[in-house]
Amino acid sequence: MSNNMAQDPEDFADSPQPPAYGEHDALSDVLQAIHLQGGDVRRRSSPGERHPAGARVLHIVDEGGISVEVAGESSVELGTGDLVLLARGDAHLVRATPRASWVTGEFLVETVVAAPLLGVLPPAIVIRGGPGSAAWLPTIKELLMSEVTHPAPGARVMVSRALDLLFIWTLRSWTASGEVGRAGWLTAAMDPVLAPVLTAIHRDPGRDWPVDELARLTSLSRSAFATRFAESVGETPGSYVQRCRLGHAAHLLRGTADPVGRIAARVGYTSEAAFSRAFSRAYGCSPRAWRGGTGAETPE
């Protein structure tokens, strides 16, 4: 019998299939939720400079060496080609050796949503640029430096995209290094079992998400899922869902003119009063005070 006989498509019905492109890309969904965007890039050659708290930046050494001293933490030493990402926004001091030069790129995020998510990362993530370094670093660095040194039409967008790539590749490389330990959502985002859950929550935070339904996305029992999620993320599924809902609501309150009641419904609350109570507990002010800019900038 010929080995080239056509086979019925049903023969493959139960064959395992890889997930569709982006189907369970929890890292992308979280980065979209915090509205990550590369900002300005500046070349530096001074003896040093201070960066205030709240500045989410990366530094790439072009020549010479620098040390980055994070407030309350030990310093890290960087040489030519090295990169350091300070995604949490810790205040830090950069000291440079004579004739050193480096590039500083900043990142813009939705602070209220990003603070608890990026807060699980270490204060400084270092990627070495020497022999045996990640192959992506020299390529993206060269692109970034070219756009900064010889800007052409579209340079601002190119720089922004290059910074986005550096941010994502840095997180990927760090998680692959085995140094992560437990890093909250990032650990879960890289877990093929839990990633579908984070994807579902971030793509539709206003939906009712019973633990049983989330567990079905992982093919785990309810108790096994709840335990694995809590150990990885550091909070219960219900608590994570509520935080995502309120973070999305905080963004909508300042980014849209929708009435508070409509926003409450969009993020899954059947009562505006219940939403207001939950929002006030998390952010220390009412939704209307938050919209008016009189509330705190980060959740309690």
Instruction: Identify the CATH number of the domain in which residue 262 sits.
Output: 1.10.10.60
Same domain assignment for residues 213 and 88: no
Mention every residue, 6+ apart, whose C-beta is less than 8 A from residue 192.
24
Q: What is the CATH number of the domain that holds 107?
A: 2.60.120.280
pLDDT of residue 7: 44
Same domain, 71 and 128: yes
Evaluate whether residue 201 is within a structural domain: yes
What is the per-residue pLDDT for 60? 93
Across the beta sheet with 101-108, what order do the strands follow?
Answer: 37-44, 101-108, 57-63, 83-86, 125-127
pLDDT in the model for residue 186: 79
Cα angle value 112/117/123 (rounded, 5°): 105
Strand ranges inside 48-151, DSSP E: 48-51, 57-63, 66-70, 75-78, 83-86, 92-96, 101-108, 125-127
**Domain range for 165:** 26-176
Q: Are residues 228 and 146 in the same domain?
A: no
Domain shared by 257 and 211, yes or no: yes
Q: How far apart are CA 102 and CA 82, in angstroms?
A: 10
Q: How far is CA 162 from CA 21, 107, 142, 156, in A?
A: 22, 11, 10, 10
Which pTM value belongs to this model? 0.75
pLDDT of residue 176: 77
Domain count, the chain: 2
Per-residue pLDDT of the chain (300 residues; tens, 9 = 90+): 444 444 443 443 343 343 444 455 788 888 887 888 899 899 888 888 999 999 899 999 999 999 999 987 778 999 999 999 999 999 999 999 999 999 999 999 888 778 877 887 889 999 988 666 667 888 888 888 888 888 889 999 999 999 999 998 888 888 777 666 555 777 788 888 999 999 999 889 999 999 999 999 998 999 999 999 998 888 899 999 999 999 889 989 988 999 999 999 999 999 999 999 999 999 999 999 999 876 555 555
For the chain, the helix, strand and coil percentages under 3-state DSSP, each to the nearest 5: 45, 15, 40
